[in-house]
């Protein structure tokens, strides 16, 4: 495996993104997306680090099963994989452009699903019933209050027995 030595994602240019032209393009778009987001959330990396610190403290083993809700381009998933290389991740988002970037950036390291979190049956598409932690960053506030309450109920149920979902 390529050592994780450079870049804001803690990986080399060919690390998680691979070495072919499409993956290099995906890595460039991923970096561009992260820079744009950091302009609005200057403490974004610290939030992600705190989230992953919580996963590290609460989850046994080195291969947690993680659910990345409204995962967009895979920003949280990439950082989770840098920290937990054996993690099993399911990323869910609705935007086809962001999902294409997530798939290109994550390659086969995560399951990437297109689902509308505002739809009552979104969770039926998940490949697993239980997850060790539920991660999310900045998109859930767009959901109406009643849908958000349902989503929190569903994700609490998705967390493995004895585990608390990690929501941000």
CA angle 45, 96, 132 (to 5 degrees): 50
Q: How confident is the model at residue 12 (pLDDT cuts 50, 70, 90)?
A: very low
Residue 81 pLDDT greater than 80, yes or no: yes
Q: What is the pLDDT of residues 107-147, one digit of tens each?
A: 899 999 999 988 888 889 899 988 999 898 877 777 778 88
Angle at the Cα of 68 from the Cα atoms of 22 and 133, rounded to 5 degrees? 140
> Could you tell me how far CA 86 lies from the centroid of its own chain?
14
Residue 25 to residues 10, 34, 101, 139, 149, Cα–Cα distance (Å) = 18, 14, 9, 25, 38
Q: What domains lie within the chain, and their CATH numbers? A: 42-158 (3.40.50.150)
pLDDT in tens, 13-62: 334 444 445 577 777 777 777 776 766 667 878 888 999 999 999 888 88
Q: Compute the chain's Rg from CA coordinates.
A: 15
Angstrom distance (rounded) from CA 36 to CA 102: 16
| Nearest in space to 164 (alpha carbons), one of 140, 133, 123 | 133
89 close to 118: Cβ distance less than 8 angstroms: no
């Amino acid at each position: 495996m390529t050592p994780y030595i450079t870049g804001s994602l803690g990986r080399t240019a060919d690390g998680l993104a691979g070495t072919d032209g499409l993956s290099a393009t995906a890595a460039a778009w991923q970096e561009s997306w992260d820079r744009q987001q950091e302009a609005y959330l200057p403490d974004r990396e610290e939030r992600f680090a705190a989230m992953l610190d919580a996963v590290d403290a609460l989850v046994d083993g080195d291969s947690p099963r993680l659910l990345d809700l409204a995962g967009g381009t895979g920003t949280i998933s990439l950082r989770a994989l840098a920290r937990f290389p054996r993690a099993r991740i399911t990323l869910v988002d609705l935007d086809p452009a962001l999902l294409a970037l997530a798939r290109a950036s994550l390659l086969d390291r995560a399951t990437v699903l297109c689902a509308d979190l505002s739809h009552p049956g979104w969770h039926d598409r998940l490949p697993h019933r239980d997850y060790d932690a539920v991660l999310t960053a900045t998109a859930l506030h767009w959901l109406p209050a009643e849908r958000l309450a349902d989503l929190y109920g569903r994700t609490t149920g998705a967390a493995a027995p004895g585990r608390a979902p990690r929501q941000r």
